[in-house]
C-alpha cells in the first residue's frame, strides 16, 4: 500500500509535466495530473507523525 502512494506521486508528476509541455495544453489532463500528485502527497503525509503529538506525550510522562 505504501508503494501505491509513490506511484500516485510519480505518475501525477509525469502527467502534469507532459500536459504542460505539449504545445496545445489539455487543461483536464493537467488537472488530473495535479490531483494524482496531491493525493499521493496527502497519503504519504498522513503517515508522518505530528511534532505536537510527541510533545504532548513527553509532557504527560514527566507528570
pTM value is 0.69
Cell readout for 2 is 505504501
How many Cβ atoms from other residues are within 10 Å of residue 35's Cβ? 14
The answer to whether the beta carbons of residues 15 and 34 sit under 8 Å apart is no
- CA–CA separation, 26 and 20 (whole Å): 8
Is the alpha carbon torsion for 16, 29, 31, 39 positive or negative?
A: negative
The answer to whether the beta carbons of residues 32 and 15 sit under 8 Å apart is yes
- CA–CA separation, 53 and 60 (whole Å): 11
Provide the pLDDT for residue 30: 86
**Mean pLDDT for each 10-residue chunk of the chain (63 residues)?**
86 86 80 90 88 63 57
Amino acid at each position: 500500500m505504501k508503494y501505491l502512494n509513490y506511484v500516485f506521486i510519480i505518475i501525477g508528476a509525469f502527467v502534469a509535466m507532459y500536459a504542460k509541455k505539449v504545445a496545445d495544453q489539455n487543461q483536464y489532463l493537467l488537472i488530473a495530473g495535479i490531483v494524482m500528485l496531491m493525493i499521493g502527497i496527502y497519503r504519504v503525509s498522513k503517515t508522518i507523525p505530528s511534532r505536537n503529538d510527541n510533545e504532548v506525550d513527553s509532557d504527560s510522562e514527566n507528570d
